[in-house]
Structure 1
Amino acid sequence: MTRLFGTDGVRGLANGLLTPELALQVAKAAAAVLAPESRNARPVAVLGRDPRASGEMLAAAVTAGLTASGVDVVDVGILPTPAVAFLTSEYDAALGVMISASHNPMPDNGIKIFAAGGHKLDDDVEDRIEQFIAGGAMSFAATGDRIGRVRIADDAAKRYIDHVGTAPENRLDGLTIVVDCAHGAASVVGPEIYTAAGATVIAINAEPNGLNINDGCGSTHMDALQKAVVEHSADLGIAHDGDADRCLAVDATGAIVDGDEIMAVLAVGMKESGTLTADTLVATVMSNLGLHIAMREAGITLRTAAVGDRYVLEELRAGGYALGGEQSGHVVLPQFGTTGDGVLTALLVMDRMAATGRSLADLASVMTTLPQVLINVKVSDKVAVALSKSVLDGVAEVEGVLGDTGRVLLRPSGTEQLVRVMVEAAEPDLARRLAEDLASRVGQV
Structure 2
Amino acid sequence: MDTTEYMTGFAEFIQASPSSYHAAHEVARQLTSAGFSELKEEDPWIAPKKTFVIRDGAIIAWITPDNAPTTAPVRILGAHTDSPGFKLKPQSTIGSHGWLQVGVEVYGGPLLNSWLDRELELSGRLVLKDGSQHLVRTGPFMRIPQLAIHLDREANNGLKLDKQRNTAPVYGVGDPRAADVLGHLAQLADIPSQDVAGYDIISTDTQPPARFGLDDTLFAAPRMDNLSSTYAGLVALLNAPEDGGHISMLAAFDHEEIGSETRSGACGPFLEDVLTRIYDGLGATLEESARAMAQSWCISSDAGHSIHPNYGERHDPNVQPLAGNGPLLKINANQRYATDGVGAALWVRSCEAAGVPYQDFVSNNNSPCGSTIGPLTATRIGIRTVDVGIPLISMHSAREMCHVNDVVYLSRAIGAFFAGA
TM-score (structure 1 length as normaliser): 0.28
- Say which structure is richer in strand: 2
Larger RCO, structures 1/2 (Cα 8 Å, 6+ apart)? 2
- Say which structure is richer in helix: 1
TM-score (structure 2 length as normaliser): 0.29
